[in-house]
Amino acid sequence: MLTPNLHYQELHDSYLFARIAEKTAKYCDEHPGTRLLRMGIGDVSQPLCPAVIAALHEAVEDQARAETFHGYLPECGAPFLRETIAAYYGKRGVAVAPDEVFVSSGASDELGHILDLFDTSAAALIPEPAYPAYVDANVMAGRRILHLPTGREQDFLPEPREIPGADLIYLCSPNNPTGAVLDRERLAAWVALANRTGAVILFDAAYEAFIEDDALPHSIFEIEGARTCAIEICSLSKTAGFTGTRLGYTIIPKELVRGGMHLNAMWVRNRTTKSNGVSYILQKGGAAVFTDAGQRQVHETLRIYKNNARVMGETLSRLGIWYTGGKNAPYIWMACPDRFTSWEFFDTLLREVQVVGTPGEGFGKCGEGYFRFSAFGNSADTAEAMHRMEQLLG
Ligand code: PLP
């Protein structure tokens, strides 16, 4: 008889956002007409910018005419977009060749697929609190997970230290859920460690566009030595509102070699086997993000989210509540007041002021006692949610 993948039995049965959805749906059923303010899930609220919309329309028109029609595109990405993304790195002084850029349907898809490159005996080191998909994708693959808890005393930034058996190292900066950002020194220490041990760093840069502080690295490839130990996974979801449109990219340097095998070449083989590429229309839309107009417009939208983060931070400061994040990141990570557990605080906010956030415990055990607010809502809702919370806790 067929044996299914038994590792699925090891997954925790309730995914964080499913439980939040269930609790909020129940509350709404019991309290019809309630206006909930959703500050929890990390989806964006602002539409795609005009430069992207214009490019998408043009690309649709291209597909309507035989002379401009595109069928299958190269599986690893259209040359025009690979070149555009390589040039985006080049502007920051990071040399990336177009054939080191792989266009994807988003970071989440890629974070799952990329694990194909590694043997299932490779253990994954996951600094926590962490984006839940890191753990679940490795559980599904049957990989051993080494949890690396972080805490308030280190501002929720993972300290580089050698952990025996850590073959894959996840780093997410700016971090979801904590909003913490790795500085150059710490990131360089992780790079040195990976080069020493032969580990590969999976660097999730989905929130790089939120970095304002020039001293902080947007890409791991700003760090010397990263080309021999890192893969960078990026997304246009939060940068440019592509959560429902779907586009991302992954950088795999040609110098990245393990066991005599070139990971870039392996990924070419993987993509040409398991994918027929991303739609021409979306890649045209994605390329528009990197034009001068596109960059100006996406940064205008990011300003809305950054302003929301500022409003949240100011509210918490007035309330005397400890928090981190929100400065170079769209997330605020706060200590739950009054010794609430994170789910107790979730229930209290929902019941008393109809504000929905995300309990920290859902991002790993060390997230217990903390709570995440997202800055991706619209400004009016964010201000109203903070006003309600201030009345409740002030
Ligand atoms: N990585 C992190 C850290 C995220 O927070 C998210 C989405 O919230 C993703 C990846 C997934 O991004 P995408 O929409 O490109 O799949």
**Structural domains of the chain, ranges and CATH numbers in brackets:** 7-47+294-393 (3.90.1150.10), 50-291 (3.40.640.10)
Q: Cα(213)–Cα(210) distance, rounded to whole angstroms?
A: 9
Judge whether 225 and 191 are in contact, CB under 8 Å. yes
The yes-or-no verdict on residue 15 having pLDDT over 80 is: no
pLDDT band at 42 (very low <50, low <70, confident <90, very high): confident
Neighbouring C-alpha atoms within 13 Å toward the C-beta of 15: 12
Judge whether 144 and 124 are in contact, CB under 8 Å. yes
Q: Stretch 365-389: mean pLDDT, rounded?
A: 96
Q: In which residue are the tokens 């299958």 written?
A: 72
Given its phi and psi angles, is residue 131 left (phi above 0), alpha (psi -120 to 50 degrees) or beta?
beta
Compute φ and ψ for 236, nearest 5 degrees. -95, 5
- The neighbour count for residue 129, using CB atoms within 10 Å, is 28
Find residue 375's DSSP bridge partners: none
Q: Is 179 in the pocket of ligand 1 (CB under 6 A)?
A: no
Pocket of ligand 1, candidates 41, 105, 238: which has the most ligand atoms within 8 Å of its Cβ, to mutate? 238
12 Cβ contact list (under 8 Å, min separation 6): none
Q: Stretch 193-212: mean pLDDT, rounded?
A: 98
If you take atom 1 of ligand 1, which residue's CA is the nearest one?
A: 206
117 CA to centre of ligand 1 in angstroms: 20
| Residue 177 DSSP one-character state | T
Tens-digit pLDDT profile for residues 75-123: 999 999 999 999 999 999 999 999 999 999 999 999 999 999 999 999 9
The yes-or-no verdict on residue 356 having pLDDT over 70 is: yes
Q: Is 108 in the pocket of ligand 1 (CB under 6 A)?
A: yes
Q: Is 374 in the pocket of ligand 1 (CB under 6 A)?
A: no
Pocket of ligand 1, candidates 17, 103, 108: which has the most ligand atoms within 8 Å of its Cβ, to mutate? 108
Q: Is 248 in the pocket of ligand 1 (CB under 6 A)?
A: yes
Atom of ligand 1 nearest to the CA of 175: 3
Q: Cα(250)–Cα(271) distance, rounded to whole angstroms?
A: 12
Judged on CB neighbours under 10 Å (0-12, 13-18, 19+), 138 is buried
Task: Please tell me the predicted confidence (pLDDT) of residue 148.
Answer: 97
The pTM of the whole model exceeds 0.95: yes
206 CA to centre of ligand 1 in angstroms: 6
Task: Please tell me the predicted confidence (pLDDT) of residue 13.
Answer: 64
Give per-residue burial for 250-284: e unless 16+ CB within 10 Å, then b.
Answer: bbbbeebebeeeebbebbbebbeeebebbbbbbbb
202 CA to centre of ligand 1 in angstroms: 13
How many residues belong to the chain? 394
Find residue 262's DSSP bridge partners: 257
**Average pLDDT over the chain, rounded to an integer:** 96
Tens-digit pLDDT profile for residues 280-308: 999 999 999 999 999 999 999 999 999 99
